[in-house]
Structure 1
Amino acid sequence: MSSYAAPSRTVGRLKRPFGNLHYEVSGSGPALIFAHGLGGNHLSWWQQVAHFAPNYTCVTFAHRGFAPSDTVANGVDPADYPGDLAALIDHLGLAEVRLVAQSMGGWTMLEYALAHPDRVKALVLSSTSGTLDRRGSDPSGGTAYDAWLATSEAAIAAGMARGIHPAMGERAAEAFPALHLLYRSIDEMAGTLDKEKLRAGLRRTATRTLAELKTFRVPTLLIAGSEDTVFPPFLASAIATSLPCGEAQIIEEAGHSPYFEQAARFNALVDAFLARPR
């Protein structure tokens, strides 16, 4: 008979000024917290929690306004995200943390790390530059970014006309139809959340310059999919080289959600990054 025991798991609700923040804690060991993107919630990280929970205390949560966290009456302001994360970390009594962010989650994780660098042992930014100004982070002065944007917008429009979610992309939708269906189903759990208003808030708050991070010494790994049409993958390397402790990895044949569509490769990169002596 097998002696396997599943990692421990608890589900909680943290009271915040907007309402309740849903979170889940799985496994044991050093704290590893995941922040999802605009098309997700805490469930987006199912392949990461299953992989990392045997060695880490994995914390997932649904950003405010994303079910099963409570809705926000007047819409969501991403400037409130870092405060929710700080409250959750304090609520769980975590002295130090490792942070993994996907897309929109970069706004949460980068701002928390900038405010509390002494508590963050490592930061992973997947398909995101968080609150950094994207065009301003382009070493070509915006030329490469503008060219990428024109091409990506056309690709997104063509894909959406055929029912393809931009955060997965055509290759993943065709190769992994079950994952594509699951991603769309998780996305739809947000219900009536005004995502266009939230996107506008993300653009409004992405104003930081790389010069502001010249003393940011939190070890940071930027991961991007080579075929991403939502985040320009070339910015991952450009930003990493500007950080005191930055590095970048490009996952080939992946779109905007490498953690979801290429989970084994994504997890291996994060595993190796976290295992390095700090």
Structure 2
Amino acid sequence: MEFALKFAPVGNYTLRYIDEGSGPAVVLIHGLAGDYSAWLAQIAVLRQSYRVIAFDNRGAGQSTQVDEPVSTADLARDTLGLMDHLQIARAHVVGRSMGGAVAQQMALLAPARVLSMVLCASFARLDPLGRRVLLNMRDALEWRMSWADHARHSVQNFVSADFFNSQPERVAAIERLIGGETRLPACYVRQNTACQEHDTLPDLARIHQPVLVMAGASDPICSLTATGWLSAGLPNARTEIFDNASHFFLMEQPERFQQLLSVWLGQNA
């Protein structure tokens, strides 16, 4: 599946992005790992009815990589800047993991520009378990300085036990995907820290847009505890739990995820 890859100047950085389809705008924000390609399956479906924007966050993929402090609010400003570049006034925002944290910051910084949100395996504040898992993954990368070793130490955090044990080929594919990172390890470390420091819990009551929260029941990074905090704090949220799935429930149960996403956008767009 090939898309036209483009580059946009946003502040002091350059962001790689795709702009596919036409209709109401949907902005897809990837997580701590990977780049815009985390959304390939969704782009293929959504571009039939929507204008779909997906991009590499600063410090990921082929966007600008610099070893400097960064916050989820900084990444939200980058996303809003990309929308400015593309002359998109308002959009539905879909974020996975760290991308969902960025989406929350967008809604707080520029509420008129966010029509609705879908937060996948995300958090307003990490719980102690999620914080420990992220610290361990960061330490593994800094210790080994190898993306392949980082993937080997991390992949079990992303999928359920049943998936890990019964789908060895798909687990190996996920491990290769994570191990194939080309970004500077320092950029991952900076964004890992941004996730640990992210805390919108006191501000969630200010987010009045409709929000769909989706979570994997066995996710150790964004646990049901953290999901409960997020859902309870949002005034207009609906929550869907994926049983027997973990942080990558989008890959473990792709049909259900796509159905929920498509119905949600159809109702809110």
Alpha-carbon separation, structure 2, partners of 1:53 and 1:178: 29
User: Would you say the 8 A contact 1:14–1:21 is kept in 2?
Assistant: yes
Gaps of 5+ in 1: 1-5, 136-145
Aligned partners of 1:82 and 1:111 also within 8 Å: yes
Cα drift, residue 82 of structure 1: 0.9
* CA root-mean-square deviation: 3.0
Displacement, 1:61? 0.5
User: Once the 2 structures are TM-superposed, how far is the Cα of residue 169 of structure 1 from its aligned partner?
Assistant: 4.4
1:128 maps to a residue whose letter is S
Equivalent AA in structure 1 for residue 191 of structure 2: L
What is the aligned counterpart of 1:242 among 213, 224, 233?
233
How many Å separate the matches in 1 of 2:207 and 2:49?
27
Q: Which has the higher Rg, Structure 1 or Structure 2?
A: 1
Alignment-mate amino acid for residue 201 of structure 1: A
Cα distance in 2 between the residues matched to 1:104 and 1:15: 22
Q: Mean Cα displacement is larger for which, 160-169 or 176-185?
A: 160-169
- Per the alignment, residue 171 of structure 1 pairs with 162
Measure the CA separation in 2 of the matches of 1:75 and 1:218. 29
Give the superposition deviation at 1:277: 4.9
- Who is 2:194 aligned against? 201
Match of 1:39?
A: 33
Question: Are 1:43 and 1:186, in contact at CA under 8 Å, matched by a contact in 2?
Answer: no
Task: Give the partner amino acid of 2:162.
Answer: R
- TM-score under structure 1 length normalisation: 0.80
After TM superposition, give the deviation of residue 134 of structure 1 in Å: 3.6
Match of residue 251 from structure 1: 242
C-alpha displacement of 1:133: 2.7
Deviations 1:151-201 (A, max 9, x none): 979x999xx877734223443334444443343333332432322343123
Q: Using the alignment, how far apart are the partners of 2:4 and 2:22 within structure 1? A: 12
Q: Which amino acid aligns with 1:82?
A: A
8 Å Cα contact 2:29/2:94 also seen in 1: yes
Runs of 5+ in structure 2 lacking a partner?
Answer: 141-150
Is 1:14 equivalent to 2:5 in the alignment? no
The answer as to 2:174 corresponding to 1:183 is: yes
Q: 1:162 to 1:171 in 2, by over 3 A?
A: farther
**How far apart in 2 are the matches of 1:91 and 1:164?**
36
Report how many residues are paired. Answer: 255
Q: Give 1:217 deviation, angstroms.
A: 0.9
Q: Which one has a larger percent helix, Structure 1 or Structure 2?
A: 2
Whether 2:59 is the aligned partner of 1:80: answer no
Scaled by the length of structure 2, what TM-score is found? Answer: 0.82
Q: Does the aligned pair in 2 maintain the 1:48–1:263 contact within 8 Å?
A: no
CA contact (8 A) 2:125 2:200 kept: yes
Match of 2:63 in 1: 69
